[in-house]
């Protein structure tokens, strides 16, 4: 078996025993990138020179008996997280030449843990999208069918993991941007509780919703990465001062007697029948493992998409005001200052980003604030209360991750509303701030992956990891690989 096809825990064991070197693993991953990247287009920046240096350093540490948790493990980073001295573009022309002078907290923690940076991955521009078709550079393709989208906005990270172009990756999730592409690419994607992982150095889209999390080949690897990237950070006032558990310690625990909520609102008319069947089969599997399915209701789910697109666009309108052509990034020539501002933003931003900035500016404007923004915040509270009420009776909630498998490229680009509805099952989790994971739970007749979402209580990632691992070990879905 090729080294690039293995996960973090397997490679770490091999490194510890001296069976392979960090240099071997990095060479294997880059050999894979050379073979398939032209088809997949998962990356916007490859960092071979940096990767080789980091692998050499990891090998020196291992030889000296100082092996770290991620020593020699090549990982990809979504290109909206700052990497010092390395391009960070958010897949936008307005930042195509931006090289940050500082490192994000999560990538600093990965460096301290000995990781190897394989490169920066493609995304929907400024993380605004569900298909990676809104990238200012190119569309990433789904490794299971290169005529289809990989999901978004962390489509590059999910595709890179699924295609074995890295061992694991980080993504960010504002309304489903880790979980939805993980589902469509057949890998594991975890959105932690809001505040569990520092956002310092993550280029902001919607600050009250954004959260960084792992995309991996299996559940154990997600637990390992959560142990590294989580924790209070004085550089991020929204990171929570909460004691960290050992997320990996719950892996392998029995789930007998666990109560799993099944919300009727998540099994909609119009959902793909093969997705519905795969998810219902997964419920039976949990039943056979001793967990108890319990009907629950999340009555305000139907308002989630509308509330999200008011709140997220409002925050985006405010956050993206800093890209004015003056401080950094792309600058257009203009007749005067105002003309330069307008031209820089018109030429630097893509159509979807402009749409969201305009929507957000409108909802925050005088006379409309109470009608839209304030009302959306009230709906958000109702959605959070729905989860609080449901969690009084159950340990976690089970839903589909996406209502459909991966759709064909170009299928929804002319209909933004249809595209927005692709995140209908993931958005509520961000609005409520609770953690959620997507794990593979089947394939359609066209050999496209289906994802299962498990949602937990605030700061209870252990329960969703424990349940996810139990399900994963009783099925074979996570072992299937796309034929590239």
- Residue 3 burial (CB count, 10 A): 20
For residues 258 and 249, give the distance between their C-alpha atoms in angstroms, rounded to a whole number.
Answer: 18
Q: Give the residue numbers marked as catalytic.
A: 78, 153, 177
pLDDT in tens, 215-256: 999 999 999 999 999 999 999 999 999 999 999 999 999 999
- Res 419: pLDDT: 82
Q: Are the C-beta atoms of residues 109 and 79 closer than 8 Å to each other?
A: no
Please count the helices (runs of H) and the strands (runs of E) in the chain. 15, 11
Instruction: Specify the residue for token string 């949602």.
Output: 455
- Res 241: pLDDT: 96
Distances in Å between the alpha carbon of 304 and those of 309, 429, 430, 432?
9, 10, 10, 10
Overall average pLDDT of the 292-315 stretch: 97
Q: How many CA atoms lie within 13 A of 60 on its CB side?
A: 6
Whether 417 shows a pLDDT value over 80: the answer reads no
pLDDT in tens, 339-361: 999 999 999 999 999 999 999 99
pLDDT in tens, 20-72: 999 999 999 999 999 999 999 999 999 999 999 999 999 999 999 999 999 99
CATH topology of domain 3-258+464-479: Amidase signature (AS) enzymes (3.90.1300)
Phi-psi region of 78 (alpha: psi -120 to 50; beta: other; left: phi over 0): beta
Instruction: Specify the residue for token string 């890998």.
Output: 187
Q: Band of the pLDDT at 413, cuts 50, 70, 90?
A: confident
For residues 456 and 330, give the distance between their C-alpha atoms in angstroms, rounded to a whole number.
Answer: 41
Task: Work out the angle at residue 216's Cα, subtended by the Cα atoms of residues 210 and 220, and round it to the nearest 5 degrees.
Answer: 110
Percent pLDDT > 90 in the chain is: 94
User: Cis peptide before 153, with omega less than 30 degrees from 0?
Assistant: yes
Overall average pLDDT of the 282-291 stretch: 98
Q: Return the domain boundaries, the chain.
A: 3-258+464-479
Overall average pLDDT of the 308-324 stretch: 95
- Res 434: pLDDT: 98
- Residue 92 burial (CB count, 10 A): 28
- Res 270: pLDDT: 82
- Res 327: pLDDT: 84
Q: Which of 301, 270, 453 is nearest to 389 (CA)?
A: 301
Average pLDDT of the chain? 96
Overall average pLDDT of the 101-121 stretch: 98
Whether 77 shows a pLDDT value over 90: the answer reads yes
For residues 67 and 73, give the distance between their C-alpha atoms in angstroms, rounded to a whole number.
Answer: 11
Overall average pLDDT of the 460-466 stretch: 98
DSSP state of 480: -
Whether 458 shows a pLDDT value over 90: the answer reads yes
**Sign of torsion, CA 77 81 86 92?**
positive
* Helix/strand/coil for 134: coil
pLDDT in tens, 113-135: 999 999 999 999 999 999 999 99
Record the tokens describing residue 168, joined without a space.
């694991």
Q: Band of the pLDDT at 415, cuts 50, 70, 90?
A: confident
């Amino acid at each position: 078996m090729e080294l690039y096809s293995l996960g973090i825990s397997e490679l770490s064991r091999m490194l510890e025993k001296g069976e392979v070197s960090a240099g071997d693993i990095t060479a294997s991953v880059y050999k894979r990138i050379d073979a398939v990247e032209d088809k997949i287009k998962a990356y916007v920046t490859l960092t071979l020179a940096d990767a080789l240096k980091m692998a050499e350093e990891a090998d020196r540490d291992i030889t000296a008996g100082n092996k770290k948790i991620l020593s020699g493990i090549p990982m990809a980073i979504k290109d909206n997280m700052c990497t010092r001295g390395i391009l960070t573009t958010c897949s936008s022309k307005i930042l195509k030449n931006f090289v940050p002078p500082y490192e994000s907290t999560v990538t600093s923690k990965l460096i301290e843990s000995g990781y190897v940076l394989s490169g920066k991955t493609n995304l929907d521009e400024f993380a605004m999208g569900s298909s990676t078709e809104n990238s200012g550079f190119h569309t990433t393709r789904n490794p299971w069918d290169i005529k289809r989208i990989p999901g978004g906005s962390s489509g590059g990270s999910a595709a890179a993991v699924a295609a074995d172009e890295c061992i694991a990756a980080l993504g960010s999730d504002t309304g489903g941007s880790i979980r939805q592409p993980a589902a469509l690419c057949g890998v594991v994607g975890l959105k932690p509780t809001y505040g569990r992982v520092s956002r310092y150095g993550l280029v902001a889209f919607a600050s009250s919703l954004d959260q960084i999390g792992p995309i991996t080949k299996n559940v154990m690897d997600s637990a390992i990465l959560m142990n590294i990237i989580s924790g209070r950070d004085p550089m991020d006032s929204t990171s929570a001062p909460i004691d960290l558990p050992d997320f990996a310690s719950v892996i392998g625990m029995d789930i007998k007697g666990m109560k799993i909520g099944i919300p009727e609102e998540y099994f909609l008319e119009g959902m793909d029948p093969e997705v519905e069947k795969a998810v219902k089969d997964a419920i039976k599997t949990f039943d056979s493992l001793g967990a108890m399915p319990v009907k629950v209701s999340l009555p305000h789910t139907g308002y989630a998409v509308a509330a999200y697109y008011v709140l997220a666009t409002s925050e985006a309108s405010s956050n993206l005001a800093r890209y004015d052509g003056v401080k950094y990034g792309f600058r257009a020539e203009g007749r005067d200052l105002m003309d330069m501002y307008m031209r820089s933003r018109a030429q630097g931003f893509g159509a979807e980003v402009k749409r969201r900035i305009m929507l957000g500016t409108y909802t925050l404007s005088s006379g409309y604030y109470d009608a839209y923004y304030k009302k959306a915040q009230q709906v958000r509270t109702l959605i959070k209360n729905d989860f609080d009420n449901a969690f009084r009776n159950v340990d976690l909630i089970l839903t589909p991750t996406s209502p459909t498998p991966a759709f064909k490229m170009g299928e929804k680009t002319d209909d933004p509303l249809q595209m927005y509805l692709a995140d209908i099952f993931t958005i509520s989790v961000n609005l409520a701030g609770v953690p959620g994971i997507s794990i593979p739970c089947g394939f359609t007749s066209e050999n496209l992956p289906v994802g299962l979402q498990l949602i937990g209580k605030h700061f209870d990632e252990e329960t969703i990891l424990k349940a996810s691992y139990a399900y994963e070990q009783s099925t074979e879905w996570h072992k299937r690989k796309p034929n590239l």
